[in-house]
Amino acid sequence: MFVMIKLIKKKLNEIRTKIEPVEFDKGRVMVAIAKNVKKQYPGKPADIFNVNLEIRLKRASTGVAFGKNFKPLYTKTKDIGNIDKKIDSLIKSQNGSSWQTKIKDAKDKFLMNNVSEIVTFNVIADGIAGESSGGDIKADITLEIYAQTSKQKKSIFKEKISFSLKSESVTVANLSPYQGMKDIAEAFKLEWKDITKYEVLKRSAKTDAEKKQKFKTIEAMYTELKDLIKKNKANISPKAYDFLSKSIFGSDMANVVDIQKSVVKEITPEYFNMLKNNVKLDVVENGNNLVFVDAKTKTPIFQIRTKLRPPPANEAKFYLEVGKGIYNK
């Protein structure tokens, strides 16, 4: 019998009722999902599987989705923040999705060999840990896999699979006005000879006059950055892909899983590398945004989106966002 990993909505929601968000303040909450479950392929020795969940989220923004506050809503099948619809999307994505294939392949390593093992899957869902890395670690969910022989209890295997979980979001980086533009210039190897004149942006602006002048300087720096990128766009593809890769996958090379109300979209390192090796980038302007597109099809791969509002709003934000051309087909 073909053994599959299945998400069951009722079981998932029951687990949510057992997790009290107040416990997140103390650290991760531990929940046993499955214990000593026997699985076996025909003609192969049986393996024993354990699945554990370690979860920690921000209590202020997740309280109604777990524990005693969530339980009465769950029994009435009321949706919270479209989570119910997104669970349906995740369940529908099980067949043929990259995230499910990676988990199944990890499981099949044990079911297909000729050794009887005890295998433990630790699912670590920590929405706070990545923040302390300064954005270098992208994974929200890490699947840690351990195996030992069933007779000798000797450790024989250890592996990690990382996932960056998103919810209808295309943003992969929120860049500061000065340092963000400087990082892009350095990553793209742009010859910005007089960039030091913009170091004034590192100083705080207190008076209205200082704020106005600082905003004008941000606009001037961005205009110059756009001109430099467009001037060098013929040779910019490899460097742009390298910069984007770090922003999407981080040092842990986490697979991106974007759960939406009707579909689950994925960005994997494997598909990204295929784009890098086969799709040359062109650069076009869309309003004040700089869009990096497939040079042949003009499909957006990613963009630098800006939100520039002069004083008194005094808002200058730079976002690195992915386009539809970067998702797995």
Q: In what order do the strands lie in the sheet with 117-126?
A: 29-39, 47-56, 117-126, 141-149, 155-166, 255-259, 264-267
Assign 301 to helix, strand or coil.
strand
Q: What is the pLDDT of residue 134?
A: 59
Pick from 159, 149, 155: which is nearest to 45 by CA?
A: 149
Q: Are 258 and 172 within 8 A, CB to CB?
A: no
pTM, whole model, 2 decimals? 0.84
User: Residue 2 pLDDT more than 50?
Assistant: no
Q: Are 325 and 170 within 8 A, CB to CB?
A: no
Query: With the C-alpha atoms ordered 69, 34, 260, 293, is the resulting torsion angle positive or negative?
Result: positive
Assign 328 to helix, strand or coil.
coil
Q: Largest Cα–Cα distance in the chain?
A: 79
Neighbouring CB atoms inside 10 A of 313's CB total: 10
Q: Are 244 and 250 within 8 A, CB to CB?
A: no
Length of the chain: 329
Query: With the C-alpha atoms ordered 97, 102, 107, 113, is the resulting torsion angle positive or negative?
Result: positive
Pick from 124, 120, 132: which is nearest to 47 by CA?
A: 120
Tell me whether strands 315-322 and 171-175 are parallel, antiparallel or unpaired. antiparallel
Find the range with the poorest average confidence among 65-79, 94-108, 171-185, 312-326: 65-79
* pLDDT, tens digit, 9 for 90 and up, residues 17-76: 889 989 988 889 999 999 999 999 999 999 999 999 999 888 887 778 888 878 777 777
* pLDDT, tens digit, 9 for 90 and up, residues 116-172: 999 999 999 887 766 665 567 788 899 999 998 877 766 777 888 899 989 899 999
Q: What is the pLDDT of residue 130?
A: 60
Q: What is the pLDDT of residue 53?
A: 93
Neighbouring CB atoms inside 10 A of 5's CB total: 13
CA distance 125 to 128: 9
* pLDDT, tens digit, 9 for 90 and up, residues 195-222: 999 999 999 999 999 999 999 999 999 9
Q: What is the pLDDT of residue 318?
A: 93
- Per-residue tokens: 101: 């294939």
- Per-residue tokens: 141: 């969910």
Pick from 51, 20, 18: which is nearest to 37 by CA?
A: 51
Query: With the C-alpha atoms ordered 58, 63, 67, 71, is the resulting torsion angle positive or negative?
Result: negative
- The residues pairing with 163 across neighbouring beta strands, listed in sequence order, are 141, 255
Q: What is the pLDDT of residue 3?
A: 37
Between the CA of residue 223 and those of 84, 132, 226, 230, what are the distances in Å? 44, 32, 5, 11
Q: Are 309 and 318 within 8 A, CB to CB?
A: no
- Per-residue tokens: 208: 């209205």
User: What DSSP string describes 230-291?
Assistant: HHTGGG-HHHHHHHHHHHHHTTTTPEEEEE-SS-EEEE-HHHHHHHHHH--EEEEEETTEEE
* pLDDT, tens digit, 9 for 90 and up, residues 230-285: 999 999 999 999 999 999 998 888 899 999 988 999 999 999 999 999 999 999 99
- The residues pairing with 48 across neighbouring beta strands, listed in sequence order, are 38, 118
CA distance 108 to 81: 35
Q: What is the pLDDT of residue 4?
A: 41
